[in-house]
Amino acid sequence: MDIVFIKQLQVDTVIGVYDWEKSIQQRLLLDLTLTADQRTAAATDDISLTLDYAVIAEKVTTLITAQPIELIETVAERVASMLLTEFATSKVEVTVSKPGAVAQAQTVGVHIVRTAAAVRESSMTAREQA
């Protein structure tokens, strides 16, 4: 499988658990890795057959800035779920970094790996429980 990636996507948003964080915007940096077969797009030179970086970046930014979020773990899960459901990818890796969150560190963050198969299983389980 092939990899399409975006490194250090900058998103300014309201993020944090402390009261003072809920009234300011802070910068998050995201690294996104999407697994998908890119041979057809490469052979035809057709952007409609690939994962469009600009569209991905716009949708991720819109998702993260739509409402305040407390945890970067929540950001990572929401981004991974959206990528797997809205784009032709079988696996995603999402890294969310929050520079300046810990004074002694350059950045802190989370890194998750999710697959389309796991998303399908999760939604089937949710439907069965309903």
Residue 129: exposure state from Cβ atoms within 10 A (0-12, 13-18, ≥19): exposed
Q: In whole angstroms, what separates CA 108 from the centre of its chain?
A: 16
Residue among 26, 33, 120, 124 at smallest CA distance from 72: 26
CB proximity list for 18: less than 8 A, separation 6 or greater: none
Q: In whole angstroms, what separates CA 46 from the centre of its chain?
A: 24
The sign one gets for the Cα dihedral 116, 91, 36, 61 is: positive
Out of 7, 22, 91, 98, which one is annotated catalytic?
98
Known catalytic residue: 7? no
* Catalytic residue annotation: 98
